[in-house]
Structure 1
Amino acid sequence: MADTTTEAQQNPWLHGQDGPPPGIPRPAAGPAPWANGPSAGAPVHVEPAALHRAAEVSRRLQGELRQAVGHAAPDTGAAAQALGAHGFGSGAALGQVLTWWTARWNSLDTRLGLTADRLEATGAAYRSTETSAATAFKAP
């Protein structure tokens, strides 16, 4: 039996879709599974230093991605141009693939940067809140 699902259905994240592909049931509407669950009202332990380390990892991955793309993109573009100049149809196809991948690389680069920014901001907010609370509870 032939598989009739499209590549976009199998890998929706490659095509800018945030939701599940068609045919995949969505969760039932209603309160989130953790609302009123056994952990409802339980204390939350946050380590701002861990958030900062995670932000550093995200920035490191962003830099590694930029370096890899910085090497691959020009070489791929040159190959596409050379193939096209010699009459190979694969040159145009390679150029299209490069354009497609460049958009995905740029999107991932942006997401890694935003993730790092948000992790750092969250860690800073927790530190600030803890400092303010500690100051407020000090005896006069």
Structure 2
Amino acid sequence: MNRLSKTIGALTLSAGLAFSFGSVSHATAPSVDFIDVSHHNSELGLPLSFYQTMKAGGINAVVVKVSDGQSYVDPAASVNIANAKQAGMAVHAYHYARFKSTVQAKAEAKWFDKKLKLVGFDKKKGWPGRCGRRGWLA
């Protein structure tokens, strides 16, 4: 009888474990408002089909890395910007800052400003900012 009790106990435990794994609930996936892309995703830039898939999936905007520090331009920025625009997404840009002083911060801001035009942004098509100034727009 001892052996029968152990066998029934083992079967009960196994069935309990099997049912506990079978009824795992999944959390709702978070909503995605935009994606962040850079050369880390693809050194040559992501293809148009990638952006079209994102757009079809309900992602309407992208933020593209343009520059870093005072001497680096992301090699994939131009392709990412052009393909995201062609897919009908809103395109934004960012600079990866490394400054450690106000002087360096100003130099990096100037670097970023110059590189925006290089990768396909146009100041003349700018957006009205909070202060009423015009900025860059892809």
Range into which the TM-score falls when normalised by the shorter chain: under 0.3
Instruction: Give the number of the structure whose residues are more often strand, by fraction.
Output: 2
Higher CA-based Rg: 2
* Greater relative contact order (CA < 8 Å, ≥ 6 in sequence): 1
Report the TM-score, using the length of structure 1 for normalisation: 0.23
Report the TM-score, using the length of structure 2 for normalisation: 0.24
